Chains A and B, each alone.
Chain A
């Protein structure tokens, strides 16, 4: 079955620690995205990548970093510089990077900072 996987589903972190969220897709999609979802707000774009070894900042990139060494993988690191990291993180992918292309989402990772 093709799809997007994110791990872990729940993640707890102490303040001051970096943590990496995994996102893998086997849909052969070129574009991948990371969003943050907070209660009462729309999805906010953190980073996106249109092609391997290239990525762009979204609207709220501060305190986050990404890499795209393989087409299938787009991990997100939440650094200690992110002031309010507790949120639901969603990874998505699409066949091409144009926004008119439908994005397909992974199941999400809920990060809680203790």
Chain B
């Protein structure tokens, strides 16, 4: 089967750094997306990784290791508005997009 694992929930403090992990077992790999979703709202695109390494975009960075089937999303200088769910999604060899259940991030003052 195809599987994407993310922690269900994480808590962090305003101003700190948090790393959200995503591990995947899929039939092939053609890229990985991270989306942010505030409660009751639409997911919004954060990043796309297809090659190994770190992609930095402001306070957010995304890392990929294809050999380990692993990615993480790094959020720096956390703000209260970063409280949301973070969705990991992988494109498999059939170009199907497989979604993880998401990680709910709670930011405390």
Which residues of A pack against B, CB within 8 Å? 4, 40-45, 88, 90, 98-100, 102-108, 110
Verify if B50 is at the interface (C-beta below 8 Å from A). Answer: yes
Q: How far is the CA of A105 from the CA of B37 in the complex (A)?
A: 10
Q: Which of B63-71, B75-83, B96-104 contacts A (4 or more CB under 8 A)?
A: B96-104
Task: Verify B41–A99 contact, CB threshold 8 A.
Answer: no
Q: Is the CB of A108 within 8 A of B100?
A: no
Could you say which residues of chain B place their CB within 8 Å of the CB of A100?
Answer: 30-31, 48, 50, 91, 95
Is B97 in contact with A40, judged by CB distance below 8 angstroms? no
Closest to A9 in B: B40
- Listed by A's residue number, 6 A-B pairs whose Cβ atoms lie within 8 Å are A99-B95, A100-B50, A103-B45, A103-B97, A107-B41, A108-B40
Q: Quick one: closest A residue to B42, CB to CB?
A: A105
Which residues does chain B contribute within 8 Å of A102, judged by CB atoms? 33, 45, 48
Q: A99-B95, A100-B50 are known contacts. Are A40 and B101 too (CB-CB below 8 A)?
A: yes
> Contacts A88-B40, A90-B43 given; 13 further ones with Cβ under 8 A?
A42-B4, A42-B87, A42-B102, A43-B43, A43-B99, A45-B97, A99-B30, A99-B91, A100-B31, A100-B95, A102-B33, A102-B45, A108-B42
Q: Which of B3-43 contact A (CB under 8 A)?
A: 4, 8, 30-31, 33, 40-43
A42 to B4, CA, bound (A): 9
